[in-house]
A and B are shown apart, each in its own frame.
Chain A
Amino acid sequence: MDPAASKKVFDDEVAEMRAQARFTKVWPIVSADYPDLVVEFPHPSGARRRFRFRCDDWDDQAPSVRSVDAEGNELANEPVGPLFMGLNSGYGLCAPGTREYHDHHKENPWANQGLSLAEIVVRAASHYRKSSG
């Protein structure tokens, strides 16, 4: 997809997300500078963790979802949890809607998903809740 068109779709979806209470008070959007959306999730343990959704070529391609620190550096092999694992393209969340999943599971392509960016963030938050934190 043309980068300008991709950025437009990204910015429009982020604007819709910002209008929802969950993305201001529960899962705050830390930054949204195309192509990266960074959201902070709470965990039942009380921990909080940031995830970066790299959305280059959105929405022709699923976002790459990685855990990052406060400076934006990727945290290798984190978090530990049922669906966080090593995949073809590196450590990631093995769930439909992530680039890592669709790179690994060619039989279930991204083109068939029809997920919004907000829906992918919600799924990632749900899987993080079930991780070790």
Chain B
Amino acid sequence: MAAKPKLDPDKPGKPKPGPDKPDKRITLTVSTLSGDHTDKFPPKQQLKVVVEKAINEIRLEGPGPWILEHEGTELSQDRTIEDAGLEDGDVLTLNPQDGGGGSGR
């Protein structure tokens, strides 16, 4: 009879990653003007969840919309982490959409 896998206290009901099941979660840092938030996420997590978690943890205020960028490219928050090509340790920036300027002259 196979031994039952240990449960991960961070993920109730899910087996804890062990030597035969490495932690494939990706560490991302969301950097805002109000501070940074670093967390681990599954590769198939949608970026909107990453953003929501950062907003809640940093307690960002403002109506948004919030623009998420990686290396100068705006990321659709409907994409997943792996679809966006993000890698472990990446830093994302999160900023409110600004109003522009333009001389109009």
Report which A residues bind B (CB closer than 8 A): 20-22, 25-27, 41-44, 82-83, 85, 87, 93-96, 101, 104-105, 116, 118-119, 122-123, 125-129
Contact = CB atoms under 8 A, between A and B. Distances in A.
B103 A129 contact: no
The range of chain B's interface size is 20 to 34
B91 A41 contact: no
A96 B33 contact: no
Contacts, number: 66
B99 to A, nearest CB: 8
Contacts of B69: 26, 129
A98 B45 CA distance: 38
Contacts of A105: 101, 103
A21 B31 contact: yes
B72 A129 contact: yes
A83 B102 contact: yes
Given A20-B33, A21-B31, A128-B72, 15 more contacts: A22-B31, A22-B93, A25-B91, A26-B69, A26-B71, A43-B72, A83-B100, A83-B101, A95-B98, A95-B100, A96-B99, A105-B101, A126-B67, A127-B100, A129-B74
Contacts of B33: 20, 116, 118-119, 122
Contact of A101 (B72, B99, B101): B101
Nearest to A17: B33
B46 interface: no
Interface string B39-78: 0000000000000000000000000000101011110000
Given A44-B72, A87-B103, A94-B103, A22 B91 contact: yes
